[in-house]
Structure 1
């Protein structure tokens, strides 16, 4: 099989990265994908750096063992800690995701921007370098969400505990009038409408959602094109799902994919 006909590997700590997978599939309908969710070890966002690095490299080993032509790190936490190590280890393109702070501050230069992310993402130098580069540290309000990914991972997006948790996280920022809300974890993409509704009610402002999954999917397409790795197929591509956890997690991944492709 030619290299260009090999699948694209996508992974996350669990179900969240399916949001990135969905956007990549929309951009690249003729490509085949392998999705690996490390559900047995989810969430990554409250783990130590060493744990996250080891788990992320294990995901990379799994996907390389399946013969992928590219790996997409569909996890902000894994990106912030392990992207460089993965690029050094694997001789294929490694695509990463980061919080969509840049488009948020560019569109709302006079407004405050809320960034919702895991503690691990918000404490990393990579994230603070991004804010420094954009001169946005004074404009951005960082909101740590240590439990939101875990709630989404359970698979019930209408769970009232999700909205209750969002109320709890936004209440300290009542009346702040956020121009934009950056969802800095791929799990949060599935509840972005709830995030916006709660933020608008408590904080005010337009609370426009900014999500890195769109830019990441475009970057995947651009890199495949520049590297001559786009599939020549005219058939609809397939998606194979794998999980390190219970078998029912694969069912959640498939249901979450339909959430964006419906």
Structure 2
């Protein structure tokens, strides 16, 4: 059986790439909700409806676990999905807790980059309240970055100008960690590393999400067995999208290649 991933578009591929690296014996199905992307500009009620429909579709692929590879969708719909379905459902949240912990010793602040909708959710406010004892977390919505990613736009001049404009009001010297709180944003880690002061660390939720996925699969005896000599290697990914757009399927395949190259991960 496969592990299901879904997102509004290409963003969840950053999480899928981590899963391919850490779970090399598994096969995956990744579905993008191209009919309704981007989620970050929709109302919570709209996103909840889109997610429920998408889950019903992806479950037809006989998946043994499901990863909501989208911070916005997780914050809005994960609790309801877990009540409705018995398979493991792994969600995502901005990596605020590890970012705060990384800065405890140096007194630096944390800057969370995310979609407007994620930052408005009560779940995000509760997360920050729970882990940020000293009021050290700031946030910045970057909705346009999702569209850059969906266009596979990596034009350095354009993106440097965009980030400089968005960050111009922040004194970056006081920050120790920047959280990439949308799964689209890690596509731009290389550019951010060049632009931000060298002392700033970048962190996203992909590693923690996949660690949790692996733990849950192990606890439920759902991990795929290692490939034996002479058998074909697993690790296959099936890409689907709600619009059934073949061109977008090819774009997802290309996005995975691009991200793997950026991460120096050899799948």
Taking structure 2 as the reference length, the TM-score comes to 0.90
RMSD value, Cα? 1.6
Report SS of the residue matched to 1:69.
strand
Query: Is the 1:177–1:206 contact (alpha carbons within 8 Å) kept by the matching residues of 2?
Result: no
- Show the 5 A alignment for 1:125-144: 125-136=122-133, 138-144=135-141
- Ranges of 4+ aligned residues in structure 1 off by more than 6 Å: none
Report the Cα offset of residue 196 of structure 1. 3.1
CA distance in 2, matches of 1:13, 1:175: 31
1:71-112 deviation digits (Å, cap 9, x = unpaired): 100000001111011111222110011111111111112101
Query: Is the 1:19–1:256 contact (alpha carbons within 8 Å) kept by the matching residues of 2?
Result: no
Report the Cα offset of residue 165 of structure 1. 2.0
Q: Which residue of 2 aligns with 1:167?
A: 164
**Count of aligned positions:** 253
Q: Which residue of 2 aligns with 1:81?
A: 76
Out of 111, 115, 119, the residue aligned to residue 114 of structure 1 is 111
Out of 181, 185, 190, the residue aligned to residue 187 of structure 2 is 190
Report SS of the residue matched to 1:186.
coil
- Show the 5 A alignment for 1:54-93: 54-93=49-88
Out of 197, 201, 205, the residue aligned to residue 212 of structure 1 is 205
Task: Please tell me whether residue 240 in structure 1 is matched to residue 229 in structure 2.
Answer: no
Report SS of the residue matched to 2:239.
strand
Which stretch has the larger CA shift, 219-228 or 174-183? 174-183
Q: Which residue of 1 aligns with 2:35?
A: 40
Q: Which residue of 2 aligns with 1:252?
A: 251
Report the Cα offset of residue 243 of structure 1. 1.4
CA distance in 2, matches of 1:102, 1:90: 28
Unmatched segments (≥5 aa) in structure 2: 228-232
Taking structure 1 as the reference length, the TM-score comes to 0.92
1:211-251 deviation digits (Å, cap 9, x = unpaired): 10011111111100001111125133211001124322212
1:100-130 deviation digits (Å, cap 9, x = unpaired): 1111111112101110000111111111111
Report SS of the residue matched to 2:169.
helix
Q: Which residue of 2 aligns with 1:3?
A: none
Unmatched segments (≥5 aa) in structure 1: 1-5
CA 1:103–1:157 in 2, change beyond 3 Å: closer, same or farther? same
Report SS of the residue matched to 1:172.
coil
Report the Cα offset of residue 176 of structure 1. 4.3
Task: Please tell me whether residue 150 in structure 1 is matched to residue 147 in structure 2.
Answer: yes
CA 1:216–1:251 in 2, change beyond 3 Å: closer, same or farther? same
1:112-168 deviation digits (Å, cap 9, x = unpaired): 111000011111111111111113571011001121111111112236433322112
Query: Is the 1:73–1:97 contact (alpha carbons within 8 Å) kept by the matching residues of 2?
Result: yes
